[in-house]
Every structure is written in C-alpha cells, then in structure tokens.
Amino acid sequence: MIRKHREADSVSEIRAKTRHGEMTIDQLAEIQPGMAALMKEAGDRFTHTYYAAKGGNWKLAAHHLNQLRASFRTAKTTRPKFAEDLDAYDKEYLLPIFESIRDQDWSRFEAAFRKGEDGSDVYHDKRGYPHIRYLLPKDPPSNLYLGPPEEFKRGSRAAEKTP
C-alpha cells in the first residue's frame, strides 16, 4: 500500500507500507539491485544458456536466455543510463543467440555465443570497466540437469551427468 503521510503543515514523502513497517519511495529505490548484482545474474544465466544448449536442452537454454533478458529489463528501469547499451547488446548479440536456440542449431548458437562474449568486452570497455571480462567456466553448472529433458530420470547417476 502506498500513501502520502501528512505531518503538521505539509505532506511528507510518499511511503510504502508493508507488514514489516513503512519506507519512503527513496528508500525503496535505494535497495534496488545495482548493475553489479544484475550483471552477476546475467553472467550466470549466460553460462547456463550455453551449457543447456550444448547438452541439447533447448527449452532450458531459452529459459535462461529469457531470464538474462529479464535482468536487462530490470537494469534499464533501475539504472536507466545503461538502457541504450543494454538494448543494443540485446539486439546485436542476444537476438542471434535466441534465433539459434529457436532453430536448435548448435553451430550457429556457438558462433553467436562467442560474439556475445566479445560484445560484452566492447560494452565493458565503453563504460570504463576494461577489468571486467566474462569467461565461460570450463565445467558446466552442476546444480541443473542440462541434457535433453526426455533423457532425465531422477536418481540415475548417468542422467545427472551434464554434457
């Protein structure tokens, strides 16, 4: 619930009320995730996208790429100065990855993914962060089954191995 709180003579800042208490809109804005947290999320999703596609789990690859793009939407809202670059990166690098996932084309996917890695460097350089470089981990994430969904069987150690 959002309401204006009236004090003696004036209207104070708009406040949001939760079961835990109240906070001002400014306080709410301050606790929004910054670019570092959002880019950590994006990097994790990028990694999961790669290994899911490599394992033949195209739906999972699409899911993670969608979630990466969702983190970009959040970033464009909470950090609008990055919106133009995020839109450009999405169009130039993420859309081709999405198209290759849709077509389940590994060779196109891998080429588009590698271009996305290079594009990440371009935008980090542009924004003054040449010390930040995404690296695809050598090993796939171990907390998700990344192979074709129809081959998964809970409890089967062979099924739990990732590509």
100-123 confidence digits (pLDDT tens): 999 999 999 999 999 999 999 999
H-type helices in the chain, by residue range? 25-30, 35-54, 58-78, 83-89, 95-102, 106-126, 157-160
What is the chain's length? Answer: 163
* 89 close to 123: Cβ distance less than 8 angstroms: yes
Q: pLDDT band for position 91 (50/70/90)?
A: very high
Widest CA span in the chain: 71
Report pLDDT for 81. Answer: 93
Which residues partner with 11 through β-bridges? 6
**Quick one: average pLDDT of 115-136?**
96
Say what the pTM is.
Answer: 0.80
Report pLDDT for 161. Answer: 53
